[in-house]
Amino acid sequence: MHVISALADSTAPWPIRAADKGDSGRDNDGDGQVGIATKTRAKPKKPSQFKVLMLNDDYTPMEFVVMVLKRFFHMDLEQATRVMLHVHQKGVGVCGIFPYEIAETKVNQVMDFARQNQHPLQCTLEKA
Ligand code: TYC
């Protein structure tokens, strides 16, 4: 098969079509393959990371926030207390940084747990 070498020509400001590179779309080497070009990435991209943020509110008890940080983010009492107080004073704080699916699961777990206990605690995601 004729491989289209400029498929990923980063200097071209437009997508390069097979015809632009003299590939007629016909089988040129008799191997029965027509117009298929694949390019594997030499360097696979790292999965992007997301911060899980906790937001302050006036009603959720401090003890509950500490419990959440221990339960879902595996913090010890000291660390959880420090993060809770940071959120209480600054309005927002980072609970941890995770790949997207794990971060999303943590947010859902925290929000479900807060709802079940009738607290307005809010948790969200932000690209790291
Ligand atoms: N501000 C809350 C209070 O005074 C405590 C609190 C801390 C709530 C952190 C939410 O993410 C939070 N009871």
Which ligand 1 atom is the nearest neighbour of the CA of 93? 11
How far, in Å, CA of 119 to CA of 97, rounded? 24
Q: Which residues of 43-75 are buried (b: 16+ CB within 10 A; e: fewer)?
A: eeeeeeebbbbbebeeebeeebbbebbeebbeb
Please indicate whether residue 123 or residue 8 has the higher confidence score (pLDDT).
Answer: 123
pLDDT digits (tens, 9 = 90+) for 29-64: 444 545 545 566 687 777 799 999 999 999 999 999
pLDDT band for position 23 (50/70/90)? Answer: very low
Per DSSP, the residues of 18-85 read GGGGT--SS-SSSSS--S------SSPPPPPEEEEEEE--SSS-HHHHHHHHHHHH---HHHHHHHHH
Please indicate whether residue 26 or residue 69 has the higher confidence score (pLDDT).
Answer: 69
pLDDT digits (tens, 9 = 90+) for 70-102: 999 999 999 999 999 999 999 999 999 999 999
* Whether pTM exceeds 0.75: no
Bridge-based pairing of strands 92-99 and 122-127 is unpaired
Distance 48 CA to ligand 1 centre (A): 29
Query: What pLDDT is recorded for position 2?
Result: 34
Nearest-CA residue for ligand 1 atom 7 is: 88
DSSP conformation class of 5: T
Which ligand 1 atom is the nearest neighbour of the CA of 121? 10
Distance 112 CA to ligand 1 centre (A): 17
Phi, psi of 88 (to 5 degrees): -60, -40
Distance 56 CA to ligand 1 centre (A): 5
Helix (H) or strand (E) holding 6: none
What order of strands is seen across the sheet that includes strand 122-127?
Answer: 92-99, 49-55, 122-127
